[in-house]
Chains A and B, each alone.
Chain A
């Protein structure tokens, strides 16, 4: 079990995260927050790239910094800005990272082949990566994160820059990888996690705001989300959420603390509504 106890991270006088308490046991954990909320800071602390200025992060009761290589040996990490050696082939690159991950040569070769197959890059495994598309590079990224068969898989904005087809494929891949391990997924794209996340973690004002199942989070907005094609009829205050076109009409989705059931249609809230509702101040 991965546990964060009162974790704080400060950069000089700026507090990036404050007093975070979390537990990760198994399944997909989605870090959902707008840019700059501290998702990457948390992930970098979980990967020991940066160190907490307060509190502690424990893996099965031991401090991860003290566990050092033993801890890093059980994590797989795909950074937000995944870099690669342009003149390497995916195979060479994965073999190099296998060495960095202290995987023995034979296992590395076997795992590399398996993973390239899994991410659909077998046919280009010997080609230099400099001509790969963003999706292909991202697939190399997920493959390298899986090389050591990690107990904790940490993915920072893994679907950024992917087309819808790639994104669906990626989501399915993550879902299939989440059995028997902790997957921590950072994103601000709600659709990425709606179906696969077992818990959603939200930060607000650099503090933990919510840590719950998606359904429970949505339930917190139950009865507050409506749709209408005539927003002028809605009494203020309300929060405009999204718009969509339907039969030539613009349907406005909004949230209101007042009962608008008589003038608008009540709808079931989704994670996107929750996101927009929680971070409404940051939108303005």
Chain B
């Protein structure tokens, strides 16, 4: 009952609706239109008849399409491809990182361990010919990064900010309305924080669903995916530019993901990340009464997490900082892969989200407990 009323208070707040509308407007006007690619659109269209698996059959079906420049280019683009994971050895990545970053001790060991484990994923993919799927052919890196590096990153940032604002709004509501004395002296008392937290998280997730739902709906209206949904994200065309290795390398995920399942998995982690940002705002909101200062501290905390990595270089605090919500957000395009040189552990996004949730939940409980003992003046 109280949860419902707290949720109603947030959801009926005009500022939330206006902010959501402005975010949507920003996404529709700026983030999405730039993602359109004519060749990619052609590939998606072709996939409806030719399927998504590369090989003789695919080439045959492509040849049967109406002849034009695009068709010829696609035929050339997809002809005679071989499985990139056949005989692929991940150890060279670990060696390059260890050499270039002068890693030693635990860091070097963990790095080697990570890529030894990744070898199993590469072998599995080699076995199933996972890389021999078309995705968006040579437009893949741009299209993949366009969705996962730009659009999703913008969306997660918006949801994170929204989650923080909603939490600070809910926690500061009584202070703003001067009802805190009445509310905290009532039977529920300071325990109302529990309801406020749940209501804020629910509101953030509702906003997440609305914002991401509508933005992606518009995105996929502009960008047709046809049969590409079934293609693997570890397609031969999907590569990561890696300066430390000195070349681009395959987008190698720990598990097998199609374009669709990868998107769903990213959305799942993004939702948990939104909850992390909510928790973070809760901790700040409980300690800081002024929501303006609270929000700035929220930004400073996240920026501080980013700075740790810059200050510590290739040392343990920097690697640990990669598991914080701010870094997880920044590394979103590499979720479910090895994560690159600044990640030491397998499945860093799951590890990071779990660790952040546990740590922040602990801080939330601690803050709420402290709040119960604090004078309300």
* Across-interface contacts of A148 in B (CB, < 8 A): 187
Interface pair B188/A102, CB less than 8 Å apart: yes
Known A-B contacts A48-B189, A100-B187; A84 and B1 likewise in contact (beta carbons under 8 Å): no
CA distance A169 to B375 in the complex (A): 34
Known A-B contacts A79-B181, A81-B178; A50 and B375 likewise in contact (beta carbons under 8 Å): yes
- Please tell me which one of the listed residues B180, B187, B373 contacts residue A72 in the complex, with CB atoms under 8 A apart: B187
Interface pair A85/B185, CB less than 8 Å apart: no
CA distance A148 to B187 in the complex (A): 9
B102 an interface residue at 8 Å Cβ cutoff?
A: no
A82 an interface residue at 8 Å Cβ cutoff?
A: yes
* Across-interface contacts of B178 in A (CB, < 8 A): 81-84
CA distance A141 to B177 in the complex (A): 14
Within 8 A of B (CB), among A71-99: 72-73, 75, 77-79, 81-86, 95-97, 99
Report B45 CB to chain A, min CB distance, Å.
Answer: 51
Report A54 CB to chain B, min CB distance, Å.
Answer: 14
Within 8 A of B (CB), among A123-156: 141, 144, 148
How many A residues, CB 8 Å from partner?
31
Known A-B contacts A49-B376, A50-B375, A96-B5; A102 and B187 likewise in contact (beta carbons under 8 Å): yes
Residue interface mask A198-211, B partner, CB < 8 A = 1: 00000000000000
B35 an interface residue at 8 Å Cβ cutoff?
A: no
Within 8 A of A (CB), among B130-183: 174, 177-183
Main secondary structure of the interface of A (DSSP, over half): loop
Report A182 CB to chain B, min CB distance, Å.
Answer: 15
Interface pair B187/A73, CB less than 8 Å apart: yes
Report A63 CB to chain B, min CB distance, Å.
Answer: 14
* Across-interface contacts of B373 in A (CB, < 8 A): 51
Interface pair A86/B5, CB less than 8 Å apart: no
- Select the residue from A48, A50, A51, A100 with max chain B CB neighbours within 10 A: A100
In the complex, residue of chain A having the shortest beta-carbon distance to the beta carbon of B8: A96
A25 an interface residue at 8 Å Cβ cutoff?
A: no
CA distance A100 to B174 in the complex (A): 12
CA distance A72 to B377 in the complex (A): 18
In the complex, residue of chain A having the shortest beta-carbon distance to the beta carbon of B13: A87
How many B residues, CB 8 Å from partner?
23
* Across-interface contacts of B375 in A (CB, < 8 A): 44, 49-51
Interface pair B186/A101, CB less than 8 Å apart: yes
Interface pair A83/B180, CB less than 8 Å apart: yes
Interface pair B187/A84, CB less than 8 Å apart: no
CA distance A105 to B185 in the complex (A): 20
Interface pair A105/B1, CB less than 8 Å apart: yes
Interface pair A99/B5, CB less than 8 Å apart: yes
A246 an interface residue at 8 Å Cβ cutoff?
A: no
CA distance A84 to B233 in the complex (A): 54
Report B181 CB to chain A, min CB distance, Å.
Answer: 4
- Please tell me which one of the listed residues B179, B184, B188, B192 contacts residue A49 in the complex, with CB atoms under 8 A apart: B184
Within 8 A of A (CB), among B330-377: 373, 375-377
B2 an interface residue at 8 Å Cβ cutoff?
A: yes
A47 an interface residue at 8 Å Cβ cutoff?
A: yes
B301 an interface residue at 8 Å Cβ cutoff?
A: no
Interface pair A100/B2, CB less than 8 Å apart: yes
- Please tell me which one of the listed residues B1, B5, B174, B185 contacts residue A48 in the complex, with CB atoms under 8 A apart: B185
Within 8 A of A (CB), among B210-257: none
A216 an interface residue at 8 Å Cβ cutoff?
A: no
Interface pair B1/A99, CB less than 8 Å apart: yes
Report B336 CB to chain A, min CB distance, Å.
Answer: 42
Interface pair B177/A85, CB less than 8 Å apart: yes
Interface pair B187/A50, CB less than 8 Å apart: no
In the complex, residue of chain B having the shortest beta-carbon distance to the beta carbon of A82: B182
A68 an interface residue at 8 Å Cβ cutoff?
A: yes
B290 an interface residue at 8 Å Cβ cutoff?
A: no
- Select the residue from B174, B177, B185, B373 with max chain A CB neighbours within 10 A: B185
Interface pair B177/A100, CB less than 8 Å apart: no
A118 an interface residue at 8 Å Cβ cutoff?
A: no
Report A254 CB to chain B, min CB distance, Å.
Answer: 39
Interface pair B376/A69, CB less than 8 Å apart: no
* Across-interface contacts of B376 in A (CB, < 8 A): 44, 49-50
Report B263 CB to chain A, min CB distance, Å.
Answer: 39
Interface pair A69/B191, CB less than 8 Å apart: yes
Residues of A at the B interface (CB closer than 8 Å) are 44, 47-51, 68-69, 72-73, 75, 77-79, 81-86, 95-97, 99-102, 105, 141, 144, 148
10 pairs of A and B residues whose beta carbons are closest in the complex: A83-B178, A50-B375, A79-B181, A47-B185, A73-B187, A83-B179, A100-B186, A77-B185, A49-B376, A99-B2
Other CB < 8 Å A-B pairs besides A47-B181, A49-B375, 10 of them?
A: A50-B376, A78-B182, A79-B185, A82-B182, A83-B174, A83-B179, A85-B179, A86-B177, A100-B2, A100-B188
> Can you offer 14 A-B residue contacts whose CB atoms are under 8 A?
A49-B375, A50-B376, A68-B189, A72-B185, A72-B186, A77-B181, A79-B181, A83-B178, A83-B181, A95-B5, A99-B2, A99-B188, A100-B2, A102-B187
